[in-house]
Structure 1
Amino acid sequence: MHQLVTSVDQLHDVVHYFEDRDSFAFDVETVGTHRSVPAVNEITWLTVATDGACSVIPMGHPNGNLLKKATRRKNKATGTWDHFPAEFDAPPKQLRPSQVFSVLKPLFFSDRLKVAHNAPFDLLSVAKYFPGRSFPPPPYGDTIVAAWLLDENRLLGLKSLDRHRYGLDYDHDDTGKAVEKHPFGQVHEYAWMDGQTTWLQWRHMRPQITTEGLEDMWALEMDVLHCLLHMGAGGVPIDIEALKALRARLRSEMEHAEAEVYRAAGRVFNIGSVPQKQKILYEEQGLKPRKRTKKGAPSTDADALAPYAGRNRFVDSLLNYQDVSKIHSTYVEGYLGNDDKPTQIFNGRIYPILVQYGTVTGRFSCRAPNVQNWPRAESEWGKAIRDLVDPIPGFKLLVADYAQIEQRILAHFAGKGALWQGFWDGVDAHTATAAAVFGVAPEDVTKQMRQVAKAIAFAINYGAGAQKVADMSHTTLHRAKQILAEHERQFAEVYAYKRKLLRTVRSRRPVPYLRTLLGRKRRLPDLLSHDHGLRAKAERQVVNSHIQGSNADMTKRALVRLHQNLLPDMQILLTVHDEIAAMCPADMAEEGAKVLHWAMAGEAMQLLSVPVTTDVKICDRWSEAK
C-alpha cells in the first residue's frame, strides 16, 4: 500500500484497501493562526493507518527539501539581530483537500471504527471538509482516553506513550506544532510515525480495557466523546456587544480598585510587583505568611491571602483588584483578543474544548477558552460572564445544576446517619451540619454557622485540616479543632467511611486503587510511598477522588442521556462544574426543560441512597437561573 499519496489513483487504492478492514486510525496536521480550533483550522496533512498499511496524504504543504537553515546575524549598524528564514525548494505536487475528502467520504461516513489520539479534535477538524454533513458517525476509539482510563497518572501525549511502550524517541524539533516551517520529507516521516503508532497503541490498549474491568467506563466515555462532538460543532453563541460593554465596565472598575489598594497601603507602589506586595503584606502590614512559593518566598496569590479576607483592609482591596484584573484579562481580553493574543470568538461563537481526560478524577478540564474556571455562578462577575452566553433569536436557555451533589455522594457512601437522614428530611446539607454541630434547630442556623459547615464539608471532601477550617470560618485554630471534634461525634458514620475506604484502597496490590460509583478506577500508588509527604498527600486524595470521581460519572452520564434524547434543534452548550446549559427553541422550552431534568435526575439517575435533585430554569440570560 502507498506510504505517500499524491494522486487520485493512489488515493482510490488506499480506500479499496481500507474498505476491507473494520477499523482504522487517522491523524491530522493543521495550520493557521487558530490551528487548535477545529471549526476554523486548515488541514494540510492526513494520515490513515490500519493493519498492514499507513498512508500519508499531504494537501498543500508549502515546502520541499531544505536548502538553507534559518539563520540570524547581528546588524553592526543597529546592534540588533537580523533574521533570515529557512529556504526550501519547491514541494511535490499534492492533492487538494476537496479531492481527498471526496474520495475518503465512504470511509469516514461508514460504520467502521474510527480511531484517533484526541479524537474530538481530529473528527471536528475533518468535519468541515464534508459539505452538508456533520462530523463522521460512531463508532469511535480514542487512544488518549484509553491510556487515561488505564493509568490516569501518566503522561498521555502520543510521544510519551510511544517512548514508554516502544522506546521510540522521535521528533526532537516539535514538527507538529508548526508543520509549515519544516521540510516536506521531515513532516512526511513525522505524520507517518504519528498515524502508525496511534494504530499500534490502539491495538495494544483496547484489550486492556476489558482486562481491567473498564468496559462500562469505556462505553460511557465513548458516548461522552459523541456528545462533545455535538457541543464542539455548535459552539456557544456570545453577545459581543455585552462583552464590549463589560470590558468598559471592568476597565473603570480596575481604576477604582487600584486606587483603593493605594489608599489601603497608604502609598502608591508598583501593583504588579510581587516583591513590593510582599513587603507591604508581610512587613508593613505584619501578616503571617500562610503559603510560600517554590522558591520559599511568602506568596501573594488569592489562596495565601484568603485567610485574611474581611480582616485586613489592604488584603480586601488587593483581592478585589486581582479579581477584577483576572476577569478583565481572562474573560474579556482573552475572548475578544488584543495585540498580544488572538480572538477566541469566531462567527459570534466561542468553541471551548472540554477535555474528558483532563483530570485524574474523571472530571472535565477545559481550554481555549476555559469555562471551568468561571467565577461562582452566584457572584457578581460569575453572573456577568455567564450572561455573555446569548441564545440565538427564537431560542431559550435551559440551565440546571445538581443540588449539593458532593455532599449527597458523601452521604451515600457513608450510609445511614445524620447527613443521610438530613437529605431524606429535605434539610439543606450545610444547614443540617451546622444545626448538629452547634446544637440548634435548623431554623436557628445563622449565616456564620452555615459558613462553618461549608468549611467542614471542604475539609472532609478535600482532606483539609483544622487550620483551613479556621481560615474559611474566620475563627481561631483552637475553636476550629473543637468544631471538628464535635462534627466527628455528630457524624461518626462519615469518619468511619473515610477510615474504611483508606484501609480498603491501601490493601489493594500491586497498585492501590479505588472505584467510583460507576466503576472508574483511580490509582494511588503513593499510598505505599516511603516518603511521608507523598503518602500523606495520597491519603488526602482518597476521599476526594471517590467523591469527585463519582460526581464526574453522574455528570457525564447525564450529558450522554441528554444528548441521546435532544429535541429537534436543541443544543447542549456547556457544562460548568455541576451545571449543564442547553439552548432550545422557545416553543419547545417547557418540553426541553423536562428532557434536561430527566437526563440529570430521572429514575435511572437515582444512583444514590439519598435523593438526587435538580432544578431546571428557562431563561434568556444565565443569571436568571439563580
Structure 2
Amino acid sequence: MQQLITDTRQLEDVVGYFRTQDAFAFDVETTGEYRGVPAVNEVVWISLATNGHTAVIPMGHPNGHNLLRKATRRKNKRTGEWDHIAAQWEEPPPQLRPSVVFDALEELLYSDRLKVAHNAPFDLLSVAKYYKGTYPPPPYGDTIVAAWMVNENRPIGLKPLDKERWNLVYDLEDVGKCIEKHAFGTVADYSYMDAASTWLQWLDLRSRVTAEGLEDMWALEMDVLACVLHMGSGGVPVDIKALEQLRMALRERMTECEADVYRAAGKVFNIGSAPQKQVILYEEQGLRPRKRTPKGAPSTDAEALEPYKGRNAVVDAILAYQDVSKILSTYVEGYLGNPEDDKPTQIFDGRIYPILKQYGTVTGRFSSSKPNVQNWPRADTEWGKAIRDLIDPLDGFVLLVADYAQIEQRILAHFAGKGALWQGFWDGVDAHTATAAAVFGVAPEDVTKQMRQVAKAIAFAINYGAGPQKVADMSHTTLRRAKQILREHEKQFPEVYAYKRQLLRTVRSRRPEPYLRTLLGRKRRLPDLLSHDHGRRGKAERQVVNSHIQGSNADMTKLALVRLHKGLLPGMQILLTVHDEIAAMCPAEIAEEGAKVLHNAMAGPEMQLLSVPVTTDVKICNRWSEAK
C-alpha cells in the first residue's frame, strides 16, 4: 500500500499500522544551504516503509504540481548585472507541520523497533534536532553498511544497488540533490521509492550478511554505528581564531614557497599547470618520470615527486608549495570556507560535524568528508600538529588522545608467528630498530637514524606490497642496494615471507571468488587474483597482505571505539577517530579516570587479540600535539 499523508487522521492510521510491525525503514529529504549536515539541515519530507505499507509525509515542500514559469535570468539595465528570477510553481497542496509529524512519529522512532535506513546516521541525526538533539535509540539497520559488507568492491549507493538487484531505475533527475527545484508529485514519488527500496534491500541484504558468515562483524558494525551517532551528535569544537591565524600564516608561506619554486627553476611559470610543471621537471631538470597520469603524461603529484625529495631543489620547492596549498585548501579553508572559491563554512556554533563513514574503505577503515579528518598530515609533522591543535576542548574539559604503538607491525608479527619480529616485541625492542639491527648486523643501540629509515621503508614494502624501487626511493639509496637489503631482510625474517606466500596461496585457492578474513572475521574479496590481466592481477596480489593487516587494524580500532563508547564516564565525549588514533573530550576533574577508560578500551585485557603485546599510551592534554 502506498499512501501520501497530508492530514492528522491519515497520520494516526499510519502510526497505528506501523505500531503492529517490529521493524521499518525510513528516509528523509532535506533542504537548506547545508542540507547535507544533519545538525543544521531542514527535514521537509519523511517516508516510512515496512511489510505491506509505504507512507510519504511532506512537511512544507514549497512547490505545487505544475511549473508555471522556468527559472531564468535578466540583465539589469541600471547595474549591468544579471538578475536571477526564480521559477514559479503552482501553490503546493496542504501539508502537515513538522512539529505535528514528529510528535506523532516519536513512539515509532524512539521505540525498541528496528529502525532501518540507507546511511542511517544521516537520517537518524537529521531527525534528532526535532527531539532536542536526542537521536533515536537502537536497534539499527543500515543497508549501506550491509551492502558494503556483502561486497565492498561495488558501488553501494541505493540506486546502483536497486539497478543491480532488480534492474530498477528511477530518479533520472537527481531529485534528492535539490528537492526544492522539483514538483510536489516528483518529490513524493522519489521519497516513496527511496523508503520502499530501502526496505526491500534490507530484506535481501540482511540475509546475505548471514550467508556470508558475517554475523559477528555485523554486530560490531551496528555498535560502531551507535558510536558514529554519538560523535556526530556532539560535533568537534574548534578554535576559530587559531584557524584564522593559521590561514594567514599559510597564505604568507605560500607566497614564500612560490618564490622558492621560481628561484629554483630559474624562471616564472604557472605552478598550478601540470603541463608546465612537466616541462620544468622532466625536460629542463631531466628527471625520469616515476608515475604517469591516466592519459599517459608524466605525473607531477606528490607520490611521483617524492623519490626526488632532497635530491632536486625544484622538486623540494614544488613539494613544499603543494603541501602548503593542500593544507590551506583542504583543512583550513575547507573548514572556515572561502567565498572566492564558493566554499561554504563547515563550522556551526563553533563546531565541525564531519561525516564519518564506517563503510568508507574496502579494508574496513573509516573515511570522512565535509570536512575530511581522515587524511590529516602525520601527527609528528609541522602541519599535522597545527591541524590537530585546532581541536579546542570546552572550558573545564581536556583532551584524551591515544593510539596504538606500531600496530601494523604487531599485527604482522602476530600473523607471521614466532621469529625475530615476534620476539622483538616480547623483548620490548622498537620494531624498526629491531629490523635495522638485524639487517645491518649491529646492536640495537648502534642503529642510526638512516638505518631506522631503511627499516621503515622495508615495513612499508611488506605491508603495502611495494618493490625494491620504492624501498630505494624511501631510503635514498640505489636500487641495487635496496635489493641487497631486502634479500638480507628475508634471510633474517623468513617467517614474514613464509606468511606472505601462504596467505596468497590460501586466498587465491578460494572459489568462486578469492577472499581473506581479517582478525575478527571481516571479509575482503580480491577477485582480480584470478584475472588474466597481468596488471590487475599484480595489483590484487599487492593488496593481499595490506588488506589482511590494515583490515585487522581497522577491526581493532573499531572494537576499541565500541568499548570506549560503552564505558564513557559522565561528561565524556568521543570526538574523532583518525586511523588508529582516538580522541575524546573529558571533564578535567575526572581526567585520570577517563584516561583509564580509554586505555582499557584500546589495550585492556579483553583487547589482547594478538600473540604479541599491544600497547597504547593515553595522553591528557589541552592540545592534540601535546600527545606526541
TM-score between the two structures when normalised by the length of structure 1: 0.98
Q: Which residue of 2 aligns with 1:596?
A: 598
Measured in 2, the distance between the counterparts of 1:85 and 1:364 equals: 40
Listed as ranges, the gaps of 5+ residues in structure 1 are: none
Measured in 2, the distance between the counterparts of 1:261 and 1:538 equals: 38
Q: Which residue of 1 aligns with 2:474?
A: 472
Identify which range, 555-564 or 310-319, moves more after superposition. 310-319
Matched, 1:538 2:579: no
Q: Which residue of 2 aligns with 1:455?
A: 457
Matched, 1:377 2:384: no
Matched, 1:574 2:537: no
Alignment of 1:352-501 (within 5 A): 352-501=354-503
Displacement of 1:169 after TM fit?
A: 0.8
Q: SS of the residue aligned with 2:294? A: coil
Displacement of 1:171 after TM fit?
A: 0.7
CA deviations 1:322-379 (Å, max 9, x no partner) are: 1111111111111111211100000000011110000011010111111111110000
Matched, 1:255 2:265: no
Matched, 1:334 2:327: no
Q: SS of the residue aligned with 1:3? A: strand
CA deviations 1:221-250 (Å, max 9, x no partner) are: 000000100000000000111111111111
Identify which range, 268-277 or 320-329, moves more after superposition. 268-277
TM-score between the two structures when normalised by the length of structure 2: 0.97
- Judge conservation of contact 1:70–1:83 (CA < 8 Å) in 2: no
Q: Which residue of 1 aligns with 2:240?
A: 240
Q: Which residue of 2 aligns with 1:164?
A: 164
Letter in 1 for 2:219: A
Q: SS of the residue aligned with 1:30? A: strand
Displacement of 1:80 after TM fit?
A: 11
Alignment of 1:160-309 (within 5 A): 160-309=160-309
Q: Which residue of 2 aligns with 1:122?
A: 123
Following TM superposition, the consecutive aligned residue runs of length 4 or more in structure 1 with deviations greater than 6 angstroms are: 73-83
Measured in 1, the distance between the counterparts of 2:406 and 2:569 equals: 28
Displacement of 1:283 after TM fit?
A: 1.2
CA deviations 1:200-219 (Å, max 9, x no partner) are: 11011112222211000000
Measured in 2, the distance between the counterparts of 1:619 and 1:76 equals: 57
Displacement of 1:176 after TM fit?
A: 0.7
Matched, 1:324 2:362: no
Letter in 2 for 1:409: I
Displacement of 1:71 after TM fit?
A: 6.3
Measured in 2, the distance between the counterparts of 1:298 and 1:511 equals: 35
- Judge conservation of contact 2:67–2:183 (CA < 8 Å) in 1: no
Matched, 1:27 2:64: no
Measured in 2, the distance between the counterparts of 1:439 and 1:341 equals: 54
Measured in 2, the distance between the counterparts of 1:414 and 1:337 equals: 47
CA deviations 1:29-78 (Å, max 9, x no partner) are: 01111111000000101000100100000011000112346366998999
Measured in 2, the distance between the counterparts of 1:75 and 1:618 equals: 60
Q: SS of the residue aligned with 1:372? A: coil
Q: SS of the residue aligned with 2:131? A: coil
Letter in 2 for 1:3: Q
Q: Label 1:242 to 1:74 Cα distance change in 2 as closer, same or farther (>3 A).
A: closer
Measured in 1, the distance between the counterparts of 2:451 and 2:247 equals: 37
Alignment of 1:42-61 (within 5 A): 42-61=42-61
Q: Which residue of 1 aligns with 2:586?
A: 584
Q: SS of the residue aligned with 1:608? A: coil
Measured in 1, the distance between the counterparts of 2:82 and 2:371 equals: 35
Measured in 2, the distance between the counterparts of 1:443 and 1:228 equals: 44
Measured in 2, the distance between the counterparts of 1:72 and 1:476 equals: 63
Q: Which residue of 2 aligns with 1:150?
A: 150
CA deviations 1:551-598 (Å, max 9, x no partner) are: 000000000000000000100000111110000000000000000000
Q: Label 1:58 to 1:84 Cα distance change in 2 as closer, same or farther (>3 A).
A: same
Q: Over aligned residue pairs, what C-alpha RMSD do you find?
A: 1.6
Letter in 2 for 1:24: F
Letter in 2 for 1:338: N
Measured in 2, the distance between the counterparts of 1:382 and 1:624 equals: 12
Measured in 2, the distance between the counterparts of 1:515 and 1:149 equals: 12
- Judge conservation of contact 2:74–2:85 (CA < 8 Å) in 1: no
Measured in 2, the distance between the counterparts of 1:461 and 1:70 equals: 56
Measured in 2, the distance between the counterparts of 1:181 and 1:67 equals: 10
Measured in 2, the distance between the counterparts of 1:462 and 1:69 equals: 57
Measured in 2, the distance between the counterparts of 1:17 and 1:181 equals: 32
Measured in 1, the distance between the counterparts of 2:138 and 2:329 equals: 39
CA deviations 1:355-412 (Å, max 9, x no partner) are: 0000011010111111111110000110011000000000010000000000000000
Measured in 2, the distance between the counterparts of 1:115 and 1:577 equals: 27
Matched, 1:92 2:93: yes
Measured in 2, the distance between the counterparts of 1:523 and 1:316 equals: 39
Measured in 2, the distance between the counterparts of 1:42 and 1:75 equals: 33
Q: Which residue of 2 aligns with 1:103?
A: 104
Measured in 2, the distance between the counterparts of 1:220 and 1:251 equals: 44
Measured in 2, the distance between the counterparts of 1:602 and 1:90 equals: 62
Measured in 2, the distance between the counterparts of 1:365 and 1:461 equals: 20
CA deviations 1:489-533 (Å, max 9, x no partner) are: 111000000000011011111111100000000011111111111
Measured in 2, the distance between the counterparts of 1:614 and 1:296 equals: 44
Letter in 2 for 1:562: L
Measured in 1, the distance between the counterparts of 2:113 and 2:466 equals: 48
Displacement of 1:255 after TM fit?
A: 1.3
- Judge conservation of contact 1:50–1:199 (CA < 8 Å) in 2: yes
Q: Which residue of 2 aligns with 1:312?
A: 312
Q: SS of the residue aligned with 2:29? A: strand
Identify which range, 251-260 or 53-62, moves more after superposition. 251-260
Measured in 2, the distance between the counterparts of 1:273 and 1:543 equals: 37
CA deviations 1:167-192 (Å, max 9, x no partner) are: 11111100011111000001100110
Q: SS of the residue aligned with 2:191? A: helix
Measured in 2, the distance between the counterparts of 1:362 and 1:598 equals: 22
Q: Which residue of 2 aligns with 1:3?
A: 3
- Judge conservation of contact 1:72–1:81 (CA < 8 Å) in 2: no
- Judge conservation of contact 1:2–1:14 (CA < 8 Å) in 2: no
Measured in 1, the distance between the counterparts of 2:67 and 2:361 equals: 44
Displacement of 1:86 after TM fit?
A: 3.7
Measured in 2, the distance between the counterparts of 1:124 and 1:239 equals: 24
Identify which range, 116-125 or 258-267, moves more after superposition. 258-267
CA deviations 1:106-151 (Å, max 9, x no partner) are: 00110000000000000000000013x5100000000000011111
Alignment of 1:508-547 (within 5 A): 508-547=510-549
Letter in 2 for 1:178: C
Measured in 1, the distance between the counterparts of 2:298 and 2:98 equals: 55
